[in-house]
Amino acid sequence: MLSSPMGAVPTSVGVTLVRGLDLGVLGTIPFIVALLLGEAPQLLQGIALVVAAGLGALAVGTAQRRSS
């Protein structure tokens, strides 16, 4: 067990944080583009929605089932 500010955490939790694609970083790409543009045009909002839906589908599609 690892101690953390939120309580004890199993040591195997760290493995899930460093394994696989970081969808959180990929999901912020439209946000970064909006920051660089200085505004969020409707086209970019639509692209952000499609990116979020695609990343969600990717996460669900590649999830591994736990064996009980």
Q: pLDDT for 10-63, tens place per residue?
A: 767 666 666 656 777 788 888 899 999 999 899 999 999 998 899 888 888 887
> What gap in Å lies between CA 45 and CA 42, rounded to an integer?
5
> What gap in Å lies between CA 33 and CA 28, rounded to an integer?
9
* Residue 41: per-residue pLDDT: 92
* Residue 13: per-residue pLDDT: 66
pLDDT in tens, 21-31: 677 778 888 88
> What gap in Å lies between CA 54 and CA 24, rounded to an integer?
13
Contact 23, 59 (CB under 8 A): yes
Tokens (6 digits) for 21: 């694609």
> What gap in Å lies between CA 13 and CA 62, rounded to an integer?
19
* Residue 28: per-residue pLDDT: 85
